[in-house]
Amino acid sequence: MCYADATQLACHDCLETAANEVANLSICEYRKTAIIHYDACFLRYSNQTFISIYQNFQPFCLQTPVANMAGPDFLNSSSVLSLIFSMTTDASNLEQKYASNKTEYMANQTMYGLVQCTRDLIAEDCKKCLESYVASAIESKPNCSDQLGARIMGPNCYIRYELYSFNVATYTANLPSPPLPLPPPSTPPVPAVSPNHQGSISIWTVTAVVVSVFGGLLLVSATSILLWRRKQKRKNGTGNVETNVELILHPNAEYQVFDLDTLRKATYNFSEKNKLGQGGFGPVYKGTLPNGENMAVKRLCGSSAQGLRELKNEVQFLAKLKHKNLVQLLGCCIQNKEHILCYEFLPNGSLDKILFTMDPLKRSELGWKARYKIIEGIGRGLHYLHEESRIKIIHRDLKASNILLDRGMIPKISDFGLARFFAEDQTHIDTSIIAGTFGYMAPEHALHGNFSAKSDVYSFGVLLLEIVTGQKSSSFAGSGRPLNLITNAWKHWKNNTVDAFKDPMLDDVYLEEIIKCVNIALLCVQEEPTMRPDMVLVNRMLTGGAIPNVPNTW
Residues annotated as catalytic (active site), given as ranges: 397
Give the whole-angstrom CA distance, residue 152 versus residue 137.
Answer: 8
Containing 315, the helix (H) or strand (E) segment is helix 304-318
To the nearest 10°, report the CA torsion of 480, 482, 485, 487: -170
Q: Please, what is the angle between helix 453-469 and helix 535-542, to 10°? A: 30
Find all residues with CB under 8 Å of 471, minimum gap 6, and list them.
356, 485, 503
Q: To 10 degrees, the CA torsion angle through 87, 89, 91, 92?
A: 160
Bond from prior residue into 482 cis (ω within 30 degrees of 0): no
Cα–Cα distance for residue pair 259/286, rounded to 1 Å: 16
Other CB atoms closer than 10 Å to residue 114's CB: what's the count? 24
User: Rounded to whole angstroms, how far apart are CA atoms 511 and 509?
Assistant: 6
Q: Give the 3-state secondary structure of 522-533.
A: HHHCCCCHHHCC
Closest CA to 484 of 511, 457, 502, 466: 466
Q: Where are the beta strands (DSSP E) in 87-216?
A: 98-106, 109-117, 150-153, 157-162
Distance between CA atoms of residues 99 and 94, nearest Å: 8
AA identity, residue 271: S
CB-based contact 143:63 (threshold 8 Å): yes
The residue type of 281 is F
Burial class (CB in 10 A: 0-12, 13-18, 19+), 423: exposed
Q: Are 432 and 21 in contact (CB under 8 A)?
A: yes
DSSP class of residue 234 equals: H
Residues sharing a CB contact under 8 Å with residue 162, sequence separation 6 or more, in sequence order:
64, 111, 112, 113, 148, 149
Between strands 429-430 and 282-288, the pairing is: unpaired
* Three-point CA angle 49, 54, 57, nearest 5°: 100
Q: For residue 128, which of 103, 96, 91, 100 has the smallest C-alpha distance?
A: 91
